[in-house]
Amino acid sequence: MEKSDPRYQAYIQILKEELIPAMGCTEPIALAYAGAVAKKTLGAQPDKVKVEPAAASLRMSNP
């Protein structure tokens, strides 16, 4: 698709309106969103969820 295509321009405009830069730790909200999508997809609360966060996101409050 060419950048001059009106569909491309519309897509870019939607992205500019809807996307907001994330500041801070985004993994907790990503996990919450993934859980909500899993529940919706399964039609019920999952029995178990295995989470493996990135090492960089782990912080100790009292090192």
Q: How far apart are CA 24 and CA 5, in angstroms?
A: 36
pLDDT reading at 45 higher than 80: yes
User: Residue 1 has what pLDDT?
Assistant: 79
Q: Which residue has the higher pLDDT, 11 or 63?
A: 11
Instruction: Identify the helix (H) or strand (E) that includes residue 3.
Output: none
Considering only residues 50 and 22, tell me which one the structure prediction assigns the higher pLDDT: 50
The radius of gyration computed from the CA coordinates of the chain, to the nearest angstrom, equals 18
pLDDT at 43: 93
Report the share of the chain in percent with pLDDT over 70. 76
